[in-house]
Amino acid sequence: MKPASFEYHAPDSVEEALGLLTEHGWDAKALAGGQSLIPAMNFRLARPAVLVDLNLIDELAFIRRNENGGGDGGPGPGGVRIGAMTRQRAVEKSELVAELAPLLTEMMPHIAHPQIRNRGTFGGSAVHADPASEIPAALLALDASCRVRGVEGERWVRAEEFFLGLFGTSLEPDELLIEIALPGPRELTGCAFREISRRQGDYALAGLAIRLTLDVKGRIQEARLAYLGVGGAPALAASAAAVLIGEKPTATVVEDAARTAAGELEPMEDMHASAAYRSRLVEILTREALATAAERASGSG
Ligand SMILES: Cc1cc2nc3c(=O)[nH]c(=O)nc-3n(C[C@H](O)[C@H](O)[C@H](O)COP(=O)(O)OP(=O)(O)OC[C@H]3O[C@@H](n4cnc5c(N)ncnc54)[C@H](O)[C@@H]3O)c2cc1C
């Protein structure tokens, strides 16, 4: 299959790219790694009249310690900042990410295959907002913030407000995702990732990313359980989190939260799995991930 014809631009600065997106509005699309957009164009599911290739914009590809004091409106010091055009493979292999956001290091190898991660970008996956994708769920679990820029200025958006639904984000057609900030490790906090797919590299049938924080008495103070593959959007399970808050992560509490998560999420049925099967996966994966995150939070895992 071949895409419909389009006009091609390869700007080398964010300003130039934003100018092009503003000029062409809904007719234009940014091109990052092309691993989702190009197949969609080849199948004529997307027919942008203008492609704005971001691959020459070096300032969008970086991984750095967040030393910002909040001066740019973003989250204050601590954690890591990842430029939108950073390849997924670079995030997977980064020692800084392993130190400051180890959940990402655990999660990244589950995305597709190495060849796709070599081209696919961290920001491209976030903007694509596929409900079956790993990166949006991890950003929700970690309470990440997204820096978005248009010609008129920029804003920071928390992951919860960034993801709006099926392949939907709060990004306007003339805006670019610039970078994503992830908070650093915290005391008595553990994260975990689990997913099930039919074959290594396939999209997951169901999966989740978790961040759990305990208080000094070992009770759960905060729980963020973010799911992929089970609904029309990357989703946080608020009722399951509520079951956990104030409790010690005993087997009974974990079991209860896992059942609550399976009840509150509404998995869809498709050619790959029934809704009932996905609910069962949610329960099992939640139990496993919670047990691992609790062990890590208490320092025993
Ligand atoms: C065979 C195959 C298997 C895959 N398996 C998985 C999987 O298991 N899990 C998974 O999560 N993904 C999977 N993917 C998708 C892959 O991870 C893509 O890389 C990712 O979804 C999109 O990233 P990209 O950089 O390629 O973006 P592109 O395809 O270039 O762009 C995607 C969308 O985001 C927009 N966009 C990109 N960057 C920006 C930006 N900075 N600002 C504004 N808009 C932007 C584009 O305009 C486009 O609408 C798979 C892909 C293939 C081909």
**Using 50, 70 and 90 to split pLDDT, how confident is the model at 300?**
low
Above 70 in pLDDT, residue 185?
A: yes
Q: What is the mean pLDDT of the chain?
A: 95
- Residue where a domain stops, chosen among 18, 33, 53: 53
Residue nearest to atom 37 of ligand 1 (CA): 124
Give the model's pLDDT for residue 72.
81
DSSP string, 147-181: EEEETTEEEEEEHHHHEEETTEES--TT-EEEEEE
DSSP string, 35-56: TTHHHHHHTTS---SEEEE-TT
Model confidence, pTM? 0.96
**Using 50, 70 and 90 to split pLDDT, how confident is the model at 89?**
very high
Residue 150, ligand 1, Cβ within 6 A: no
pLDDT digits (tens, 9 = 90+) for 275-285: 999 999 999 99
Q: Tell me if 22 is assigned to some domain.
A: yes
Average pLDDT of span 167-175: 94
Give the model's pLDDT for residue 301.
55
- Burial (CB count <10 Å: 0-12, 13-18, 19+), residue 46: middle
Residue 228, ligand 1, Cβ within 6 A: no
Residue 234, ligand 1, Cβ within 6 A: no
Give the model's pLDDT for residue 231.
83
Q: What is the DSSP letter of 3?
A: P
pLDDT digits (tens, 9 = 90+) for 55-66: 999 999 999 999
Sign of CA pseudo-dihedral 135, 227, 184, 250: negative
Give the model's pLDDT for residue 178.
98
Q: Which of 38, 43, 116 to mutate to test the pocket of ligand 1 (most atoms within 8 A of CB)?
A: 116
Residue ranges making up the domain that contains 76: 60-182
Above 90 in pLDDT, residue 80?
A: yes
Above 80 in pLDDT, residue 68?
A: no
Residue 178, ligand 1, Cβ within 6 A: no
- Residue where a domain stops, chosen among 182, 198, 224: 182
**Using 50, 70 and 90 to split pLDDT, how confident is the model at 201?**
confident
Residue nearest to atom 19 of ligand 1 (CA): 120
Report which ligand 1 atom has the smallest distance to the Cα of 178: 41
Report the CATH number at residue 228. Answer: 3.30.390.50
**42 and 67 together in one domain:** no
How far apart, in whole angstroms, are the C-alpha atoms of residue 298 and residue 212? 10
Average pLDDT of span 240-250: 97
CA of 133 to the centre of ligand 1 (A): 9
* Tally of domains within the chain: 3
Q: Where are the beta strands (DSSP E) in the chain?
A: 7-9, 28-31, 50-53, 63-65, 80-83, 145-150, 153-158, 163-165, 168-169, 176-182, 189-196, 206-214, 220-228, 235-236
Q: Tell me if 151 is assigned to some domain.
A: yes
- Rg of the chain over all Cα atoms, to the nearest angstrom: 19
